[in-house]
Amino acid sequence: MAVVTILGAGAMGAALTTPALAAGNAVRLWGTWLDDGILAALRAGQPHPRIDVPIDRTAVLFDSGDLAAALDGAELVILAISSDGVVEVLRRAAPHLRAGLPLLITTKGFGYDPDGKVGLLPPLLRAVLPGELADGCPIVAIGGPCKANEVAVGRPTAAVFGCADVGVAERAADLLGTAVYRLATTDDVDGIEASAAMKNVYAIALGIADGLAETGGEPWHNLKAATFAQAATEMQRLATALGGRAETAVGLAGVGDLEVTGLSGRNKVYGARIGRGEPATAALDEMVAAGQTVEGVAAARFAAELADQRALDSLPLLGAITEVLAGAEEPAARITAAVLPARR
């Protein structure tokens, strides 16, 4: 049992209170300055507004101004913040962290390093910590097919914890794992992070096939499956280019998460809107205006830039998605050309 502080009271942060409590920990849930409405709903005994699931009242809620108190005495910290806010939240948390405290991250995405190069999140997060914490707080990447609403109600879920020091990942897994939230461990942090970021991108393409089916009333399963296979190939290429292992990209954190992300969620929904014929930019604007972050859009831009910076080729599906997001005509034809074998 440990004191577990979860930073971010969105869907995933709140969902993780369920296994963390079930495993016998003292759990704190801190809401960012964007989460006031969520905390108000939870305090009023209402279900979590994002996942429509009640959150166990034994999780202690902390407002954004109470970050120091939320982190006081914490033995495990989970960052469940969207990619565009995670650096800022960690920067604010840093004065209240101590060396040796494991930092678990559910966040999926890329960012820029100080030289303007696209990179994975763990080194970028380490860069905002002062020296003794940058070296002293092990980062544990969380990957795998985990829909927040299912984790929150205790449905069987397989996740993978990755840390350069696999012993840290194992101890974190021992503290948070339950009979239904089962955890594998690995030292392949880069493989998890690359796969996790990219599956959001490729889920947009899977959604496009769904949108075509919704419009025409006939399935496009073959195109969707070919897209899935090409996505798996490209995720392996990107994971290895970023220092990870191909096997991670075809495991829970890669194809496992791609499957669940392609079934539901904001990236798939966005792709479906494009597949139904909505202009990519207008559909995105509407979703953003409704407070729905589509992380795969930013990740696609980062990944295209990364491929450019590192002269990676053989990523035709990434190329097609990038074009579609930029407003290219005939999205279905672009995806099709990228995933069907070249020979007739």
Active site (catalytic) residues: 199
Among 188, 193, 210, 295, contact with ligand NAD (rule: CB under 6 A): 295
Stretch that binds ligand NAD, among 106-114, 165-173, 271-279, 281-289 (CB under 6 A): 106-114
Among 6, 11, 55, 253, contact with ligand NAD (rule: CB under 6 A): 11
Q: Work out whether 188 is an interface residue with ligand NAD (CB under 6 A).
A: no
Q: How far is the CB of 143 from ligand NAD (least distance, A)?
A: 8
The closest alpha carbon to 24, from 238, 179, 230, 250, belongs to 179
Among 75, 293, 305, 340, contact with ligand NAD (rule: CB under 6 A): 293
Distances (CA, A) of 44 to 41, 55, 278: 5, 11, 38
d(CA 9, CA 62): 9
d(CA 307, CA 291): 29
Q: Work out whether 322 is an interface residue with ligand NAD (CB under 6 A).
A: no
Q: Identify whether the C-beta of residue 231 lies closer than 8 Å to the C-beta of residue 238.
A: no
Among 2, 12, 249, 317, contact with ligand NAD (rule: CB under 6 A): 12
Nearer to ligand NAD, 32 or 336 (CB): 32
d(CA 335, CA 328): 11
Supply the DSSP string of 30-74, one letter for each residue: E--TT-HHHHHHHHTTPPPTTT-----TTSEEE-GGGHHHHHTT-
Among 55, 61, 102, 108, contact with ligand NAD (rule: CB under 6 A): 108
Show the binding pattern over residues 22-51: x = contacts ligand NAD (CB under 6 A), - = does not: ----------x-xx--------------x-
As a whole number of angstroms, the longest Cα–Cα distance in the chain is 64
**Under the rule (CB under 6 A), what is the footprint of ligand NAD?**
8-13, 32, 34-35, 50, 80-85, 88-89, 106-108, 146-148, 293, 295
